[in-house]
Amino acid sequence: MGGILSLIGNLFWIVLGGFWTTLEWIFAGFIFCITIIGIPFGIQAFKMASFVIWPFGRKVVRESTGVGKIIGNILWILFGGWYIAIGHLLAALLWAITIVGIPFAIQHFKMIGLAFAPFGAKVVPD
């Protein structure tokens, strides 16, 4: 039964705004990939976009954090993560206004943390 509910949730998610937040991640990925130095950041943005388009039934877990991932996350925040986080925060606040929108708000709140620290994050089935 959880699989059907996840499917329904994801379909509603895409139609009711998930598509646009996914485009935000994809846009960031393309911008980062313009330079050779930014390619690892762009690849990470594309990985997270695959989660943002289909979040129900999956979750993000943190892998061990090394110095490289910490530096990557700091640079990510400075050069782009903050605007993605703001987009998710605004969407979460709008969805939280209604009772029906609370599951969507919860997903957006999860993605705020992801927008601040995508390095070391791994998407796994829920």
pTM of the prediction? 0.84
Alpha carbon 112 to chain centroid distance?
Answer: 7
Question: By the 8 A CB rule, do 123 and 44 touch?
Answer: no
- Residue 55 sits at φ, ψ, to 5 deg, of -85, -30
For 103, the domain range is 2-125
40-96 residue pLDDT tens: 999 999 999 999 999 998 888 888 778 989 999 999 999 888 889 998 999 999 999
Q: What is the DSSP letter of 100?
A: T
Tally of structural domains, the chain: 1
Task: Read off the pLDDT of residues 22-54 as tens digits, 9 standing for 90 and up.
Answer: 999 999 999 999 999 999 999 999 999 999 999
What DSSP string runs through 22-63?
Answer: HHHHHHHHHHHTTSTTTHHHHHHHHHHHHHHTS-TTEEEEE-
